[in-house]
Chains A and B, each alone.
Chain A
Amino acid sequence: MMLSSKGFVLVTTLILVVVVSSIAFTMLVQTQLSQKLAGSATLSFQLKQQTQIKHLQQLQQLKTGGAESAIFELAPCPALYAAWSGITPECQWYKVSTLEQSGHHQHSVTSFLVRQSLPEGGWDGAL
């Protein structure tokens, strides 16, 4: 009788230990996950910010002629409020893409721009 009650206490203690440790482990894992989640948002934000800053720099460089980008013929000039007839400005369409990676995460920003210039001949030279 004495022996069976001792076994019961042992089993109960063991079960208790298992339950407590599993709770503790879960909590630890949860905390770690929370930290990761919290960190990922920060990292994602940082990555986005980084990509956007780089993209803006690329756009600025493109406008000053210091960067290359894909030029393509998509359509004629977009409609302008201050429209032209006869002599129409020449339009080139540009696609500027910026891609930044951090680990397995990536963020890309793509912009489409139109460069409007005046056609050569008739415009050049002073009167």
Chain B
Amino acid sequence: MELYRLALCILLCSHQLFADSVWSHIPGSGVVQLSELNTEQHSALAQHLKLTSIETDQWLDELSELLDSLSCSTLEQQSQPLPDYIAPGYKVISYAGLLKWYSDDQGKKTHWWLPWLMIPSLSQLHTQLADLSAQLHQPLLLTELQLEQKGEFFLISGSSSPTYFALRLKTPEQPELLWSVSPSDAAFKDLAGAMAQPLLMQETSSQPLAISLALLLPNTGESAQKTLLYKVDLWTGAVHARLINDQNVSALSGALALYDQNRDSHPETLLLCSKAGQIWQAQIENNQFYDLRSVADISGLKFTDVQFIRTLYAAVPVAGSGSDFHSRRSQWLLLLSALQQQDSVVIVLKLQSEQNTTSSDLVNRTLPELPKQAVFTEQNWQQIQQTQGWYSQLDGRLTQVPVVAAGVLYLPLLRLNNKDHCDQEQASAHLMALHLHHASSVYRHPVLSLEKTAGALAVKANAQGGFALIDKNNQQVLIENMLEISPDCLHCSKTMQQDSFPRWQLMGTYQNEDGAYE
């Protein structure tokens, strides 16, 4: 009986120990599971950790506990769902490059991917995560639709080691390292920081109708690097081009955006920025970067890091008589969110090639604490029209890329506890909705309290004939009936109706008359 109990205990304990599978890539040995190392791999790990064989065993025994201690419930709210054809119900999250894919279903195993170069510094990772900018950037998920190959799925991530790597997942239990780049590679020897979200770009190759995929990997870091950005092949990680730093750009943030400035359906302009808020743009054509120049410098707002950059093309009201809502100019807007210590600031600025925008060109449209105090006068409106845009300081940290739907800017926010960033109990989640053109509240209440932190936002048709704003991760409805702004007046908005689509817009009519009467 005693023996039976002992056997049961061993079985349960070992099950607990290996409940999670931990993967890494040992150079020369390939992808390994750290619980199933052979002697050679074990000694390679010991050498990498600079530990003896016995100490390595002890390290491996404590690994599970160490990884569990990394768990951060507020950060996990930013997780992204894996596609159903790979792992239904699984989500992925990055702890400064250390990846975890897991399911809320307790019966399903949790898997970890430890970038090889990060292994020796795992014990310091917890401290690193206290830095909110290390929490910003999540891996890039590339599905079969983007890869144009059925059943394929890639995870591209940067890590604090610094390394960029690409994993291919067939199933959650089968990670395959496609490539990994670090400063030890000759082509990446000036890679100083990889805490960024890589950007996917499509380019038409020399063969007709063939589209090749490339990745843009920013070289983040505190100092000025020779290379600002690498353009690499998606499948191999081989460098195709680099953006050389000829403007003395320093402390590059991991936020990037690619947009189609000339509107020919091929994005060719790259936007990149420093952590402080200096924004540059460069042109990209085939494998050439050129014309790197500054477009805005809003570092006067004292940012600690930039979270996201996005662009959108909109009809922007132009300065004229205050009541004239019909005079508008089509132009690119830059949507940027940055951190001021713990809280985010959202900025909408008009991208103009001839002018270098500074923070004094922006109107402060921060909402007052009490909604009743919110005043928006005709003078404010003219000021926004005449200047380069607006900014609004948010009460909380933005957790996802903001979404603009029908002229309303939706911002998922998380207010964190000052002492423990990972304490979900102390954190509160909110959703804020602002008018795209003047940052006033569109809904009755500008801020909506949420039970859970919102994941990626999506718009979905509802049963009442309107549209609802939903949180894709948690399948929670955030706004039942979405509003759309209307150009008829300053604060005009109406419920967006399904039957109002498709919409027709008359762009122009011309008449021609010829011939003669007899």
Question: Is B436 located at the chain interface by the 8 A CB criterion?
Answer: yes
B310 to chain A: closest residue by CB? A85
List, in ascending order, chain A residues with CB within 8 A of B485's CB: 81-82
CB-CB under 8 A for A113 and B487, given A76-B265, A80-B314, A106-B514: no
Do B330 and A79 touch (CB < 8 A)? yes
Q: Which of A80-115 contact B (CB under 8 A)?
A: 80-87, 89, 93, 101, 103-115
Q: Which of B378-420 contact A (CB under 8 A)?
A: 401-408
Do A86 and B404 touch (CB < 8 A)? yes
Kindly state the interface size class of chain A when it binds its partner: 35 or more
Question: Is B31 located at the chain interface by the 8 A CB criterion?
Answer: no
A-B contact count (CB 8 A): 154
Binary CB contact string for chain B from 304 to 339 against chain A (1 if under 8 A, 0 otherwise): 000000101111110000000000101101010000
Do B517 and A113 touch (CB < 8 A)? no
Question: Is B504 located at the chain interface by the 8 A CB criterion?
Answer: yes
CB-CB under 8 A for A81 and B328, given A104-B518, A113-B504, A127-B460: yes
Binary CB contact string for chain B from 284 to 320 against chain A (1 if under 8 A, 0 otherwise): 0000000000000000000000000010111111000
Do A81 and B460 touch (CB < 8 A)? no
Q: How far is the CA of A124 from the CA of B314 in the complex (A)?
A: 25
Q: How far is the CA of A77 from the CA of B312 in the complex (A)?
A: 11
Question: Is A8 located at the chain interface by the 8 A CB criterion?
Answer: no
Do A81 and B459 touch (CB < 8 A)? no
Count, chain B residues at interface, CB 8 A: 57
Do B460 and A106 touch (CB < 8 A)? no
Do B404 and A113 touch (CB < 8 A)? no
A43 to chain B: closest residue by CB? B517
B513 to chain A: closest residue by CB? A107
Do A85 and B516 touch (CB < 8 A)? no
Do B511 and A122 touch (CB < 8 A)? no
Do A84 and B404 touch (CB < 8 A)? yes
A63 to chain B: closest residue by CB? B504
The 9 closest A-B pairs by CB, nearest first: A82-B407, A79-B330, A83-B314, A105-B515, A85-B404, A117-B502, A126-B463, A40-B517, A79-B315
What residues of chain A have their CB less than 8 Å away from a CB belonging to chain B? 36, 39-40, 43-44, 48, 62-63, 75-87, 89, 93, 101, 103-118, 122-127
Q: List 5 A-B contacts (CB under 8 A).
A: A78-B330, A81-B314, A101-B515, A104-B515, A126-B461
What residues of chain B have their CB less than 8 Å away from a CB belonging to chain A? 260, 263, 265, 310, 312-317, 328, 330-331, 333, 335, 401-408, 436-437, 458-463, 467-468, 470, 477, 484-487, 501-518
